[in-house]
């Protein structure tokens, strides 16, 4: 180095190499769709009356989501890339839930995603210096309950009838008809039903 200026013969720093490799993982079309959906979500979707489920379903379908006619999504739900979202019959997404659908998020029938729950179908490959985006599918079966403030990570399958307790963190698949709790989520017991129901 001379006079405070860098010598071009010096090797680039690790940060410079990484910066030169960073290319957006989103196509121009996807960027435009995300921008348009962000505007719609912040206005029409968010300002809709709490029981206008059909209106919100129509908005989501206009952006490529697949929702059964009886699926209910609350107005305060935050959804990224709704074209990657599928919700089955009689399922409900509660207030302030986050559906981060960078990859496909498939929610079965009669499933409840409670308030504040977070389904995150995107991560980065930390084993590579450029940390490329990974869009991993989340698959949630029928008759599942994802309780309040719980987190389901990328690539996780939640089996039919499973329950993830409040603030539980599922980073691995959950077996059918089991109740899970904690961080990381562990199986607590089998899901049993009262004979009176």
pTM of the model: 0.85
Residue 166, pLDDT > 70, answer: yes
The larger pLDDT score, comparing residue 192 to residue 136, is at 136
Structural domain contains residue 147: yes
Between 100 and 5, the higher pLDDT residue: 100
CA dihedral 152, 149, 83, 130 (to 10 degrees): -50
Three-state SS at 112: strand
Residue 154's pLDDT band, with cuts at 50, 70 and 90, is: very high
> Given this model, what pLDDT does residue 17 score?
47
How many domains does the structure of the chain reveal? 1
Taking all residues of the chain, what is their mean pLDDT, rounded to a whole number?
90
Judged against a pLDDT cut of 60, whether residue 175 lies above it is answered with yes
81-93: average pLDDT: 98
- Domain contains 11: no
Within a domain: 14: no
Specify the CATH number for the domain of residue 165: 2.160.10.10
């Amino acid at each position: 180095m001379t006079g405070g200026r860098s010598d071009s013969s010096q090797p680039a720093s690790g940060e410079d190499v990484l910066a030169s490799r960073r290319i957006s993982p989103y196509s121009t079309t996807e960027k435009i769709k995300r921008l348009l959906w962000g505007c719609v979500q912040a206005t029409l979707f968010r300002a809709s009356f709490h029981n206008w489920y059909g209106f919100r379903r129509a908005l989501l379908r206009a952006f490529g989501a697949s929702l059964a006619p009886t699926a209910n999504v609350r107005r305060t739900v935050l959804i990224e890339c709704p074209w990657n979202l599928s919700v089955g019959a009689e399922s409900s997404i509660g207030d302030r839930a986050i559906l981060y659908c960078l990859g496909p998020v498939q929610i079965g029938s009669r499933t409840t995603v409670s308030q504040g729950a977070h389904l995150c179908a995107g991560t980065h490959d930390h084993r590579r210096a450029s940390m490329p985006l990974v869009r991993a599918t989340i698959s949630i079966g029928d008759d599942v309950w994802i309780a309040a403030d719980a987190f389901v990570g990328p690539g996780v399958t939640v089996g039919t009838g499973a329950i993830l307790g409040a603030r539980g963190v599922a980073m691995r698949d959950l077996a059918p008809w089991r109740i899970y709790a904690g961080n990381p989520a562990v199986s607590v017991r089998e899901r049993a039903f009262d004979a009176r129901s």
